[in-house]
Amino acid sequence: MEEFNSRLRDDAKSLFETQLPTLCRRFHDLLTSELFNDKAVETVKEAVRSSCQKLVEVKRQKLKNSTQKLPPNSSSSDEEFHTPMNSDSELEVKEPPAKRLKKVILKRKKAKPEVDTSDKSDSDDDSDTDAVLECNPHICSMMEVLKPELRQVTECCNTVRAWVQLQVPAMQDGNNFGVEVQGDMIEEIRRVEAESGAFLQALSLYHLTRADLASKYAKNTGVYDYQRAIEELDTKEVVSLRLIAREVRNSCVTLLDTVVKNMDKVLCPRVNNENMLVC
């Protein structure tokens, strides 16, 4: 146990001196980078419009190709039956009306499979794999940069919290002010750790929500409200990612400042007052 406590103390010291200040600087640099600056909203909207325009063009070209592959509307046997000349000849043959109706039904049944097979071949040739609504590359880049930082903050807080908990002395009556400081420190570290984990889970829900809107827009490209809904969703996600980076940066700075200011109480929560004179 002493060996583990010593190793954990060394890790916590390294976190205070190097990793936690480095995380604060990295989050601050993220907020001033091109990915997280104020122009990111317009970049995201332009990416959505471009992707939707590509989808519409692909679907229009696909519809044009399918109409060109359809067989010409040649005169069918039904039209030959309804011509006046044929009706006169049939009257001369004097076939019963039921027999003539039966012939028409048979001819129509023979003509239907040809149309069905052609439609099936067209659907096989023109698959839906070409109609793709791409993910927003700017938001994907923001997430790829932000996720590792959030994971590192979570792991850092977990290590620090475990080390502070091991510094808590045995319970006794009186002289517990330092122990209360340690308890407040543990709660603050747990709050930052929980926030970072919640932010990571929130990032995973974005693609699921966007996929629902994208699938609806892919089926109804004429409904421009779906396109606007995707733009609004991506805009909200950019603002949320910037707020997450700002909130985690502030939490890390506050946590580092609090730990440094109360390091004496964390390391030595109780003071020996046996030799002090009480008047």
The contacts of residue 190 (CB under 8 Å, 6+ apart) are 157, 161
- Which three-class secondary structure state does DSSP give residue 163? helix
Query: Is 64 exposed, middle or buried (CB count within 10 Å of its CB: 0-12, 13-18, 19+)?
Result: exposed
**What backbone torsions phi and psi does residue 135 show, to the nearest 5 degrees?**
-70, 160
Which pLDDT score, from 0 to 100, does residue 98 have? 59
272-277 contacts at long range (C-beta below 8 A, 24 or more positions apart): 273/175
Q: Which domains does the chain have, with CATH numbers?
A: 2-56+135-267 (1.20.120.180), 70-129 (no CATH)
Which pLDDT score, from 0 to 100, does residue 252 have? 92
Provide the CB-side half-sphere exposure for 263 (13 A, CA). Answer: 9
Which pLDDT score, from 0 to 100, does residue 277 have? 40
Which pLDDT score, from 0 to 100, does residue 20 have? 87
Residue with tokens 């019963």: 96
Which pLDDT score, from 0 to 100, does residue 104 have? 59
Q: What's the pTM?
A: 0.71
Task: Collect the ranges in the chain with pLDDT lower than 70.
Answer: 69-131, 272-279
Neighbours of 16 (CB within 10 A): 18
Q: How many residues does the chain have?
A: 279
DSSP-derived secondary structure for 117-138: HHHHHHHHHS-GGG------HH
Neighbours of 260 (CB within 10 A): 11
| Single-letter amino acid code for the residue at 201 | Q
Neighbours of 216 (CB within 10 A): 14
Provide the CB-side half-sphere exposure for 145 (13 A, CA). Answer: 20
Which pLDDT score, from 0 to 100, does residue 178 have? 86
CA triplet 252, 255, 259: central angle to 5 degrees?
A: 140
C-alpha–C-alpha distance, residues 69 and 67, integer Å: 5
Asked whether 143 and 238 are in contact (CB, 8 A), the reply is no
- Which three-class secondary structure state does DSSP give residue 95? coil
Asked whether 19 and 241 are in contact (CB, 8 A), the reply is no
Q: Report in angstroms the alpha-carbon separations of 141 from 138, 158, 274.
A: 5, 27, 60
CA gyration radius, the chain: 36
Residue with tokens 């040739």: 125
